[in-house]
Amino acid sequence: MVTRSMTEEAFFAAVEPLPPGMLRATIRPHRGAEIAAALGAVPVSGAPGRFHTSFEGGDVRIADGHPFRGADRTFVWAPDARVIARALAAAQCDGAAANVEVADRLDEPRPPREAPPLPSAVELRTRGALPLLSNAPGQAGYVWARDDGVIEQIRVFDGRVIGAEEIQGATSIAFDYASPIEVLREVLSPRAVAVLSALDPRRDWDATCPRDALAARLAEAGLPASEAILGFEARCGGLHLGGASFGAAAHMHDRRAPGLVTVGRDGYHTRLAMDAGGAIHFVDTEVYEHPIPIAVAWTTFFERFHWERSVPESRSFLVPGLLGEAIARALGAPLVPEATDAYAALWFREGAIVHQIGADPGDDAGPTTGVAVVSLDDLVAALQAAQQEQPNFVLRWTAAEPGPSGRAAEERPILRVPLWEVAAPPRRELRVHGRPGGYWLAIGALSAPPHTART
């Protein structure tokens, strides 16, 4: 038998990590000898090390076992899908499974509604499909080679195709039918999708499970397995978004809200829970004795999620009370119906957003209105509208504080608003100077009476 001598390090140096123009097939169980015979590869002496057998032939390398990727699998490296297709054909046996990876892959997110139907068992058998190697719970798939040497792979979760890949030559195009943004695009407004897209959304399939499995787990735990909860998991289970994570399967073990299913976490103490009807509740047992309802549905909650990002580089503040309608009217910001419900309301236009919540989870003061604007003229209009509705309001400034302006200190402010202090009465105030088109801000010691204005 012809053999070639090669060290273990040299054997892998040319193919790991996977270089451009190269493909790697992973096959279980060991099928190295059968594949080598089909591809004309010969055993390599000196390379086995911890491996059963290794083979090499031209640009093709084969190893039964891998120091980092598993000892019970065969790995095939080749520069062309047609060669990998022959390897898959030679690997056919009872219990065989495989997947193919490509260094050069183009990912194409697509709406879930465009996903192809799952092939029938007869169709898969006719194509010579092998089950796809996958470690994710409930996630499976298939890989097969067409007669023209093109390799196709599909990923399947809970009976539906969530990804399809076509490998031709040494390149691949992969259609992702479970892209978080494409999933959310089907149920959220373009404004919300744009905001959430900036939060680097991704989905961890290890953190979710199929519908029937979740329903059984919820029932066993004595929790509601309603259509609202199961539907949320189908779209958002395993979702990571701006530091928050979502899904009942990942969070239902947190039983801080009796009768509710924990479906999200945002920070160390903050939990989000859903009732059987689909309403979202804020849960923080470190601060509040009971859960606080904040949205009638998860879609409404996501419409408001990180709402302040809709107005980048803004000046923002909070005022106590339900002042949203008056401030929005002064700013010319229309109501956003999809982000408004019995618990909160949102008004938006370019450069300005107003967010009113009936019970602020982060503020014992109760109802609160938040404002974010870009221009100083809009800021002054919002403050003046708040003053008209509530003359003695205290402002919680949530943007970077204005620094020294260098302007004449003796110029009288047209508006002065006390600034909120933690567990203390106000000691400072925000001062507005100037005129439309030329306003400027300063912060100084509180003077009396507040809110004076000069016309």
DSSP assignment string, 63-132: EEEETTTEEEEEEEEESSHHHHHHHHHHT--TT-EEEEEESEEEEEE--GGGPPPPPPHHHHHHHTPEEB
315 bridge partner residues: 373
Q: Are residue 297 and residue 342 in the same domain, yes or no?
A: no
CA–CA distance, 75 with 11 (Å, rounded to integer): 12
CA distance 247 to 102: 31
Distance CA 163, CA 143 (A): 12
373 within some domain: yes
Distances (CA, A) of 252 to 218, 229, 271, 329: 8, 11, 11, 42
* pLDDT attached to residue 237: 96
pLDDT in tens, 359-378: 655 555 578 999 999 999 99
- Residue 450 falls inside a structural domain: no
Q: Are residues 156 and 197 located together in one domain of the fold?
A: no
Residue 157 resides in a domain:
yes
Q: 282, 304, 326: which is the final residue of a domain?
A: 304
pLDDT for residue 1: 47
- Tell me, yes or no, whether 455 lies in a domain: no
Same domain, 418 and 312: yes
pLDDT value of residue 407: 63
Same-domain check for residues 143 and 102? yes
162 and 55 in a common domain: yes
Q: Quick one: how far is CA 281 from the chain centroid?
A: 20
pLDDT along the chain (455 residues), means of 10: 60 86 96 96 71 83 87 94 97 95 93 95 96 77 95 94 96 94 94 91 91 95 95 96 93 86 84 95 77 93 84 86 96 96 94 85 70 95 95 88 64 90 86 92 80 45
Q: What is the pLDDT of residue 449?
A: 60
Residue with tokens 């004449």: 408
Predicted model pTM: 0.80
Q: Which of 149, 178, 207 is the last residue of a domain?
A: 178
Task: Please tell me whether residues 150 and 200 are part of one structural domain.
Answer: no
Q: Rounded to whole angstroms, what are the CA distances from 404 to 419, 424, 446?
A: 17, 25, 16
pLDDT at 181: 94
**Does residue 80 share a domain with residue 121?**
yes
Q: Is residue 451 part of a domain?
A: no
Same-domain check for residues 14 and 162? yes
Per the structure, the count of domains in the chain is 3
Q: Are residues 298 and 359 in the same domain?
A: no
Q: Domain ends where: 118, 145, 178?
A: 178
Q: Is residue 140 in some structural domain?
A: yes
Q: Is residue 141 part of a domain?
A: yes
* Full residue range of the structural domain in which residue 395 is found: 307-445
State whether 414 and 265 are in the same domain.
no
Is 69 part of any domain?
A: yes
Q: What's the pLDDT at 455? A: 35
Do 78 and 226 fall into the same domain?
A: no
Do 169 and 198 share a domain, yes or no? Answer: no
Over residues 73-89, the pLDDT tens digits come to 999 999 999 999 999 99
